[in-house]
Amino acid sequence: MAGSGLKKQASRLRSHFQRHSGATQEVAETPGTVDRMWWMDLLLRTIRLVLEGASRLIFGIMYYGSTHTPLPPITNLVLLESATALATKIRTKKLTSEEVVKSFIARIKEINPILNCVVDDRFEDALQEAREADELIRFGTMDEATLAKTKPFLGVPFTTKDCFAVKGLKQTAGLWIRKDMVAEEDADAVRVMREAGAIPLCVTNVSELCMWWESCNTIYGRTNNPYVNCRIVGGSSGGEGCLQSACGAPFGIGSDIGGSIRMPSFFNGIFGHKPTYGIVSNLGQEPVASGEAKEFLVTGPMCKYAQDLGPMLKVLGAGNSHMLKLDQKVDIRNLRYFYIEDDGGSPMVTPIQTELREAQRKIVQHLEKAYGIKAKKITLKKLKASVLIYFAKLGSVEEAHTFCEELALKKGSINVWMELVKWCVKCSRHTFAALLLGVLEKLNNHNKHTENFTKLLAMCADLKQEMKELLGDDGVLLFPSHPTVAPYHGQPLFRPFNFAYTAIINVMLLPSTQCPLGLGSEGLPLGIQVVANHYQDHLSLAVATELEKAFGGWVCPSEVK
């Protein structure tokens, strides 16, 4: 009887997986293949459950009773201003650039010992450039209207992650072998911000070679979450997201190849926008993307207030920004809204946390109550294979150097197995996360010659077409930014594939805005992605502004006095 019951239960489970797995539907062609895919699904799910249980136990014990060091209170209200507001006040002489820059320098000096988010700075040079901006305004060489048009961020400080070149500052990308490298010229994104009058202050911490979703490396260590210190800030733009949230800068630049803008923005409770590919130049950042990966990698804005996203994106996009129709007014009542609650149950990804599901449902309810808009719940079965699709797309880029070659500065390749042995005896200059990625890359390269690899590429193309047809010119998709709130330091190693919710958007080449939705029960930020169609960035930015009004947006992690 027991055996018969288990057999029936297994049969029901198999039919369930076959109904809900896009990967199974695409790959399965024979009864034998169906059985293998089902058992693989079950095996992966079991491994994930074991790792999840182990991580909750281990990190629950490790951080039980851990104390949070609160950030110093904010007594200078300049720190709470948006970048656009600061620019206006500087142009109209209500504030000087010098006092603004001094305010943020002072804030960085008091929060960095707690957060470890800033890794190199140019404070003295920034102050001199601030004085020059004040002189330009004082002498009246250009009137306010001209300044607003030609130098919209004159005198406003900004920051960026330690993979972008900022002349005179370290550009390590978190890689030990690059620890003494100093940028000789500005990256394109930094250059156009300077041309708009903005002043670079410092560079911020990243994960090793910007390819992991916790910002930690063997040069500078790890960065702490401003809301709960024992939680991560995300990666690879984690130091940037942390600094923005903690009021260390009014806005900053991030880059994103699998969620490196959106995950840190989510974990730190700020706004972050992944633009349509090809709009913002990636030149001057490390590592350099090659081949089709150039389309997956994008550069975009990170900030506390939605109102700064559009103006900053307009500057970053330079000659391409007109393609995004950023000046076009959007009536959110005329948009079509869709929402997806989860990826359909990938065996490799943690299920969506209940509190995040509820936050998404509140958005749906708000749209209906405030505007009579009924968002449509949809299911895209292929999303269940997001992790596999993402790795297949990265693996298909033949022109790119391997990750192990990048870790060796493209001078040969590291022996990842030897480095793992060295890591065990604390002799490796690499993080365990980077070595894990090296192992996964080797496994992925092995899979490139299988039939399933080709089918995953076809699934990605089909999914892109589905999304294009679904969204059209007036549709937006509400999609989870991540399955959980910010995990503990180190916990991503037990949940390595949870980046899938952001990564799949990269390979579909769609713009996406991460929007904060206040704090949850653990005192950690909640959020949602708003995804639009190619070149329809202005739609997701408009929805971000609406969600900020409705749910409060960024919540200051410090007491305000």
Report d(CA 163, CA 366) in Å as an integer: 39
At residue 298's C-alpha, the angle toward residues 295 and 302, to 5°, is 165
Q: Which of 82, 97, 103, 260 is catalytic?
A: 260
Task: Establish whether 376 is a catalytic residue.
Answer: no
Please answer whether residues 402 and 413 qualify as being in contact, where contact means their C-beta atoms are separated by less than 8 angstroms.
yes
Q: What is the DSSP string of 277-328?
A: TTSS--TTBSSPP-TTHHHH-EEEEEESSGGGHHHHHHHHHGGGGGGGTTTS
Q: Decide the pairing of beta strands 157-161 and 251-256.
A: parallel
Please answer whether residues 240 and 302 qualify as being in contact, where contact means their C-beta atoms are separated by less than 8 angstroms.
yes
**In a 3-state reduction of DSSP, which class is residue 27?**
helix
Q: Which of 89, 161, 304, 393 is catalytic?
A: 161
What does DSSP assign to residue 229?
A: T
Alpha helices (H) in 28-160, listed in sequence order: 31-62, 83-91, 97-115, 123-139, 144-150
Report d(CA 345, CA 41) in Å as an integer: 10
Q: Which of 97, 207, 215, 236 is catalytic?
A: 236
Report d(CA 434, CA 426) in Å as an integer: 15
Task: Establish whether 82 is a catalytic residue.
Answer: no
Report d(CA 94, CA 115) in Å as an integer: 31
- Helix-helix angle 83-91:123-139, to 10 degrees: 50
Report d(CA 351, CA 346) in Å as an integer: 8
What does DSSP assign to residue 373?
A: -
Report d(CA 253, CA 237) in Å as an integer: 9
Report d(CA 24, CA 385) in Å as an integer: 9
Q: What is the DSSP string of 484-544?
A: SS--BTTGGGGSTTTTHHHHHHHHTT--EEEEEEEE-TTS-EEEEEEEE-TT-HHHHHHHH
Task: Establish whether 422 is a catalytic residue.
Answer: no
Catalytic positions are 161, 236, 260
